[in-house]
Amino acid sequence: MSKPLRVTVWNEFHHEKTNKDIKKLYPKGMHEQIAQYLRGLEGVEARTATLDEPEHGLTDEVLAATDVLTWWGHMAHHEVRDEIVDKVQQRVLEGMGLIVLHSGHYSKIFRKLMGTSCSLKWREIGERERLWVIEPGHPIVEGLEKEYFEIPAVEMYGERFDIPAPDTLVLISWFQGGEVFRSGCCYHRGKGKVFYFRPGHESLPIYYHEDVLRIIGNACRWAAPLCSAPAITWDNVQPLEEVRK
């Protein structure tokens, strides 16, 4: 437990470069805002990676040295190269944690791991969201004071969210305009753990929200790979017991 948790915060990082208001909100990009929060947590190391870097910043070396990867993408999902997506999937199945944020629901990696369309409803009028804790003993809600928290202005995501039913449903959102959403969804996939977390938007200060950051931090800890997971044998095997007919 004394080894640091190594998080790589991945961001598409286009909006922040092409839109003045967004740049003002996240001058170094959303990834730096999230990484800075994580760096303040005991035992956590955070680096960043972005789409326009070589191999999207996700070289074999980086992936091998990543315990948990967080993912934010939106307008350029299609620019993410398939072979990088395959490598990320492989790493998740081997044990790397993956935290998918907001519009990352439509990323290649999330859709690939879910096997469904991951479609949903959306609306961008800056309405209020209230996220309710559904599983109050889950480590991802550690340290929340209340059983809900509010975000004053958000892009709405509404059900039907076309995902497999989560292994554990931690949060459900209420929206002013009349919708609900499964906003905190835990999955085991292979040896890896995946958490989808709804909040976030390029043009709103959501990654400055204390409870949103707290949950991202908790999720990184929850999704950490085992220090030592049992080795698995695949394919053709010899019997462990004598087989007589």
Largest interatomic CA distance in the chain: 76
CA distance 167 to 114: 12
CB of 199 to its own copies, least distance (A): 16
The closest alpha carbon to 181, from 123, 125, 94, belongs to: 123
Q: Which residues between 159 and 188 bind its own copies (CB under 8 A)?
A: 159-160, 162, 164-165, 167-169, 172-180, 182, 187-188
Q: Which stretch binds its own copies (CB under 8 A): 33-41, 64-72, 117-125, 199-207?
A: 117-125
Residue number, 122 or 208, with CB nearest to its own copies: 122
**Under the criterion CB under 8 A, does residue 52 sit at the interface with its own copies?**
no
CB of 78 to its own copies, least distance (A): 16
CA distance 79 to 173: 30
**Under the criterion CB under 8 A, does residue 82 sit at the interface with its own copies?**
no
**Under the criterion CB under 8 A, does residue 75 sit at the interface with its own copies?**
no
Q: What is the token pair recorded at 28?
A: 């170094």
Residue number, 31 or 212, with CB nearest to its own copies: 212
Are 128 and 151 contacting, i.e. CB atoms less than 8 angstroms apart?
A: yes
**Under the criterion CB under 8 A, does residue 235 sit at the interface with its own copies?**
yes
Pairing of strands 121-133, 168-175: antiparallel
Cα-to-chain-centroid distance, residue 156: 18
**Under the criterion CB under 8 A, does residue 4 sit at the interface with its own copies?**
no
Q: Which stretch binds its own copies (CB under 8 A): 27-35, 73-81, 146-154, 195-203?
A: 146-154
Region of residue 13 (phi > 0: left; psi between -120 and 50: alpha; otherwise: beta): left
